[in-house]
């Protein structure tokens, strides 16, 4: 349980004990996914900073999400976050340029599931997770807006942060650091003028 130390007389869990418990739970999730999807849907995994990241194929993403959410032994009902990483010129990185990172949480297991879907620069498409997790809707719009990833089947895929007529995706690493002239469209405000 996550409430260690909240019961009278209960000992508080140390940081190391908590990390070990969380890592063990995440390894159980990985094992469950490997049993359920033996044909290549799970492309690999790695432990980073006491956390397990599970690589999932784009084609299997929705099946994996449905399974994690609905399996009575897992119950990852909470969609925590979705983000994207642009690995352009990342030291030592070989392979697809973009990684979509899905973070899910199970209150029942007190555990996280961290999934990564790799996308090539010339094929930035993945099915929307908003059908499985409605909370993914705006996170997908943000990733679309800032990185250009297309979420097939999304109910309202449009920009969420940048103006509708904005050109490009400003969190890509090949986007010019000083922009493409869009700063000239905004007035410079000073304390005196504001």
Residue-wise pLDDT tens digits, 115-137: 999 999 999 999 999 999 999 99
- The dihedrals phi and psi of 110, each to the nearest 5 degrees, come to 50, 55
What's the CA angle centered on 50, arms 108 and 141, to 5 degrees? 65
Average pLDDT of the residues in 38-43: 93
Q: What is the pLDDT, as a whole number, of residue 191?
A: 78
Q: Which whole number is the average pLDDT over 190-194? A: 70
Task: Give CA–CA dist 58/100, Å, rounded.
Answer: 10
Q: What are residue 46's phi and psi, to 5 degrees?
A: -155, 155
pLDDT, tens only, 101-116 = 999 999 999 999 999 9
Between vectors from CA 160 to CA 118 and to CA 117, what angle results, nearest 5°?
A: 10
Distance CA 114, CA 67 (A): 14
What does the pLDDT average to over 65-81? 98
pLDDT of residue 6: 54
Helices (H), 52-183: 61-70, 136-147
* More confident site: 28 or 6: 28
Provide the token pair at 7.
């019961």
Q: What pLDDT, on a 0 to 100 scale, did the predictor assign at position 71?
A: 97
Q: What's the confidence (pLDDT) of residue 50?
A: 85
- Count Cβ neighbours within 10 Å for each residue of 70-106 and write b for 16 or more, e otherwise: eeeebbbeebeebebbbbeeeeeeeebbbbbebbbbb
Alpha-carbon distance of 139 to 71, in angstroms, equals: 24
pLDDT band of 179, cuts 50, 70, 90: low
The CATH fold of domain 15-185: Beta Polymerase; domain 2 (3.30.460)
146-176 pLDDT, tens digit per residue, is 999 999 999 999 999 998 888 889 999 998 7
User: Up-side HSE of residue 165: CA atoms within 13 Å toward CB?
Assistant: 2
The CB-side HSE value for 19 (13 A sphere, CA atoms) comes to: 8
> What is the C-alpha separation between 178 and 172, in angstroms, rounded?
13
Per-chain mean pLDDT for the chain: 90
Q: Where residue 180 falls among pLDDT bands split at 50, 70, 90? A: low
Question: Residue 108 and residue 28: Cα distance in Å, rounded?
Answer: 14
């Amino acid at each position: 349980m996550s409430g260690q130390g909240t019961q009278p007389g209960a000992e508080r869990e140390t940081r190391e004990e908590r990390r070990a418990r969380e890592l063990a739970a995440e390894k159980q999730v990985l094992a469950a996914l490997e049993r359920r999807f033996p044909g290549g849907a799970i492309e690999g995994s790695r432990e980073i900073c006491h956390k397990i990241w599970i690589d999932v194929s784009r084609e299997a993403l929705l099946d994996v999400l449905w399974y994690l959410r609905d399996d009575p032994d897992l119950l990852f009902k909470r969609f925590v976050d979705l983000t994207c990483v642009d690995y352009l010129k990342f030291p030592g990185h070989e392979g697809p340029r973009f990684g979509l990172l899905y973070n899910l949480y199970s209150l029942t297991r007190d555990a996280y599931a961290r999934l990564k879907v790799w996308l090539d620069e010339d094929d930035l498409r993945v099915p929307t997770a908003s059908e499985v997790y409605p909370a993914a809707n705006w996170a997908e719009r943000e990733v679309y807006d800032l990185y250009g990833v297309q979420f097939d089947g999304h109910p309202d895929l449009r920009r969420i942060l940048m103006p509708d007529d904005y050109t490009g995706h400003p969190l890509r690493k090949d986007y010019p650091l000083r922009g493409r002239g869009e700063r000239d469209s905004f007035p410079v405000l000073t304390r005196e003028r504001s």
